[in-house]
Amino acid sequence: MTAATESRLRVRYAETDNMGVVYYANYYIWMEVGRVDFCKARGFNYRDMEIEDGIFLAVAESTCRYRYPARFDDEVIVKTRIEEANARTVTFAYEICLVEGNRVLATGSTRHVFVSRAMQRTRLPEKYHGLFGLATTATLG
């Protein structure tokens, strides 16, 4: 369990649908925003890990429970934390809230595996272990 980071965003018109609310798949895009910010707050840049180390975080599983609909122009907070991590996989948990009143819109999670550019499963390089809250001893994985 780790401290959560908070990302703010505003609902785009493009993200709404015919029902007048945010289309359900778009919450997963907001989780991505939260995840990227979380990594930055931990002191590393997801983009650099891709470019410099050739390590990608492929999504293995995603879930979302929708509590209350978000609408166009709502200001939203994505609270992101790591739920579980080891050298092969990391699970993020998210709580997505309205800024106004802190009402919970949705909760969700994404589980990722570390892969190479060729999409082969790999282990997280040791230099990143601390950033994901992993011990840096040899017993991992």
Tokens of 96: 């997505």
Determine whether 61 is exposed, middle or buried from the number of CB atoms within 10 Å of its CB (0-12, 13-18, 19+). Answer: exposed
Least distance from a second copy to the Cβ atom of residue 43, Å: 15
Least distance from a second copy to the Cβ atom of residue 62, Å: 5
Does residue 74 carry a catalytic annotation? Answer: no
List residues near a second copy by CB under 8 A: 12-14, 16-21, 23-26, 28-29, 32-33, 36, 45-47, 50, 56, 58-66, 69, 71-73, 110, 119
Least distance from a second copy to the Cβ atom of residue 59, Å: 4
User: What is the distance between the alpha carbons of residues 2 and 80, in angstroms, rounded to a whole number?
Assistant: 9
By beta-carbon proximity to a second copy, the closer residue of 73 and 126 is 73
* Phi, psi (rounded to 5 degrees) for 49: -60, -40
By beta-carbon proximity to a second copy, the closer residue of 50 and 126 is 50
Which of 17, 37, 48, 74 is labelled catalytic? 17
If you search the block for the tokens 């011990």, which residue do you land on? Answer: 135
Task: Report yes or no: 106 and 29 within 8 Å, Cβ to Cβ.
Answer: no
Least distance from a second copy to the Cβ atom of residue 44, Å: 12
- In 3-state terms, the chain is what percent helix, strand and coil (to 5)? 25, 40, 35
By beta-carbon proximity to a second copy, the closer residue of 58 and 135 is 58
User: Which of the residues are catalytic?
Assistant: 17
